[in-house]
Chain A
Amino acid sequence: MSVTHDLSRDRGAIREPDDRPPVGRRRRRLSRRVPPVVWLLLLIPFLVETGWVFYPAFNSFQLSFTKWNGVGVAQPVGLRNYTDMLSDPIFATALRNNVFWVVGFGGLSVVAGLGLALALNKPRRGIGIYRSAIYLPMVFSLAVTGLFWRVMYQPDGPVNVVLAAIGINTKEHQWLADPNTALGAILVAAIWRQAGYIMVLYLAGLKGCDPALEEAAAVDGANKWQRFRYIVMPQLKNVNTVIFAVTVIDSLRTFDIVWAMTRGGPYNTTQLLSTYMYQVGFTLVNLGYGSALAVVIFLLAIAFIITYLARATRED
């Protein structure tokens, strides 16, 4: 947080001299002081966000040093919640799963999204239909996506039927009830929804690439892969940064789809940090430990939040 703040202050410091009007225009500038009514316009939204975002975030930090079940007074316990985590096997599982999730969800949706964007970049007949079909799942809620795929994964459902038809006999495999396949099965559903979003971002990035560069490279004898690797990819650097940050932030937030498909089961094997935090906080009503888990999620996300902020406010 403090880094963000310093960053913006630095920018402010650099900007101010440029903004200062020449002496002759100073009077006009002075007349443009911020009128009270404008302060009010800014204050109302800012107070709403303070009350519902900044204060609660701060409060979570405070609660994370206590033991509390929501009734009576919270007992201060120092760092106990955090040390407890180290010996909590479910926390270890959730953390491991989250690493798997960041890599799997991030990696595969980026590969799929970039591949689709490259395939569907040049205008051709029918391309709108392909694009729409691929990014349609993006508008379904994660709860809907989860239910769709629960139906798909039923023992007598189409996934097993199709696999049997192509010679892989899965014997009515219970994809979501088997600890070995449950998280992977959820991952497939999540990527099905996410790939279209990543594709849209890359399509925008590719639109900003200079086609003349690629043509020049082609004339010089660069093959398709070389052109992609050395001409197109460097131009996508900014898009890559944003997608990287957005994907990691999204991965750490992932809750709905797991909740809709397995609720963290079987035997906590699909627990992510977010679902475990929800369960501890709202099912077990262990508010102190739940807050500590939330703080851990926040600390893991903060570097990527700053990356996104720095990118989003550049050239502005």
Chain B
Amino acid sequence: MTATALVPATRRRRHGKDWAFHIVMSVVTLLWVTPLVFVAAVAVRSFDDISFNGLGTLPHSFTLDAFSTAWNEGNIAGALGNSIIVTVATVVSVLFLASLAAFALSRYPVPYGRAILLVMLAGNLLPPQILLIPVSQICELLGIYDTLFALVVVQVGFGLGFFTFVLYGFMRSLPVEMFEAAKIDGAGDLRIYATIVMPLCRPALAALAALESTWVFNDLLWALTVLRTDTKFPITAALLNLQGGYTSQWNVVAAGALIAAIPTTIVFFAFQKHFVSGLLVGVSK
């Protein structure tokens, strides 16, 4: 009797609370996406509209001219291509090399294996500033300064420690019986790596690939360190050039920034689960 009387009361109260919650959170969320919406609104306005009505008003015009200006004259198209090449090459190489090291450390009694693992991880935690000057010197020395190859190599080297550490943890969690069975069947070490370990690591590799691709795509500092020529710049560095070249044309700058934001947004929404689980590495234990 009392129970049935209580149910509507609590439900009503919870509904009331829900209401307040949604109002507050809607305001916060709107506030959060405001910069994005506003920049999008600027990007579709014409230059005349902005200079006549000011930046802080609602659009009085709609045109995609700013996008085509940024894309063609602002060299965003080429820069996006550079970014994609560098990102794909870096992600594939770093995950491949890290998986080799992680396989060796997690599956064999390597002497001082833990120390090696820790030192490799520590390398990734260093502030990049301490590497910049020598890295640019090394690139000059090797004759690869101002090439996309240099940008890939540097980022592979710097990322290795973190991914080795994460993959090591993952590979250790794989059941030992599988390896022993494969050994009894006569599979060699490389064979075990290629046909047993790597396929089992697919979920971890997917999460790390999603994470690393946004990191590499978003990098600015390494690009400024090893590249000099505008046409080789990835999109982040090209955006800063665009800003310098189109100083008062905010619609072009806004369009360029939006184009640069699209690829990572796609990766994020396509791999949201992977992405978040990648972020949580080392935290949730």
Contact = CB atoms under 8 A, between A and B. Distances in A.
Contact of A200 (B100, B254, B279): B279
A141 B272 CA distance: 17
A83 interface: no
B283 A239 contact: yes
Interface string A39-55: 10110111011011111
B18 interface: yes
Contacts of B131: 52-53, 56-57, 60
A294 B254 CA distance: 33
Given A70-B137, A201-B280, A139 B243 contact: no
Contacts of A7: 118
Contact of A55 (B128, B134, B136, B153): B134
A249 B114 contact: no
A308 B218 contact: no
Contacts of A57: 123, 126, 130-131, 134
A35 interface: yes
Nearest to B225: A282
Nearest to A15: B114
B125 A144 contact: no
A152 B35 contact: yes
Interface string B230-271: 000000110110010000001001101100110011011100
Nearest to A62: B134
B189 interface: yes
B239 A144 contact: yes
Nearest to A242: B283
B129 A253 contact: yes
Contacts of A315: 285
A292 to B, nearest CB: 10
Interface stretch (B5-13, B161-169, B199-207): B161-169
For chain B, the bracket of interface size reads 35 or more
- Which residue, of A38, A134, A293, has the highest number of chain B Cβ atoms within 10 A? A38
B98 interface: yes
Interface stretch (A153-161, A174-182, A216-224): A153-161
A225 to B, nearest CB: 17
Contact of B130 (A140, A201, A295, A309): A295
Contacts of B107: 38
Contact of B25 (A5, A119, A274): A119
Contact of B164 (A45, A238, A297): A45
A9 B110 CA distance: 14
Given A41-B103, A49-B120, A60 B261 contact: no
Nearest to B104: A42
A41 B21 contact: no
Given A249-B125, A313-B118, A143 B220 contact: yes
B64 interface: no
30 contacts: A7-B118, A34-B109, A38-B110, A42-B104, A45-B160, A48-B97, A49-B123, A49-B160, A52-B158, A53-B126, A57-B123, A63-B133, A119-B24, A141-B218, A147-B243, A147-B257, A154-B56, A200-B279, A204-B280, A238-B285, A255-B129, A260-B220, A278-B129, A278-B221, A281-B133, A290-B133, A294-B130, A295-B130, A313-B118, A316-B285
Smallest CB-CB A-B distances: 9 pairs: A52-B157, A141-B218, A161-B56, A56-B134, A42-B104, A59-B134, A45-B101, A156-B54, A143-B236
Given A141-B219, A253-B128, A312-B165, 14 more contacts: A37-B188, A38-B107, A129-B29, A130-B25, A139-B275, A141-B218, A154-B55, A156-B55, A239-B283, A249-B127, A253-B129, A273-B129, A282-B132, A294-B127
Interface of B: 18, 21-22, 24-25, 28-29, 32-36, 38-39, 42, 54-57, 97-98, 100-101, 103-105, 107-112, 114-138, 153-154, 156-158, 160-161, 164-165, 169, 188-190, 193, 214, 217-221, 224-225, 236-237, 239-240, 243, 250, 253-254, 256-257, 260-261, 264-265, 267-269, 272, 275-276, 279-280, 282-285
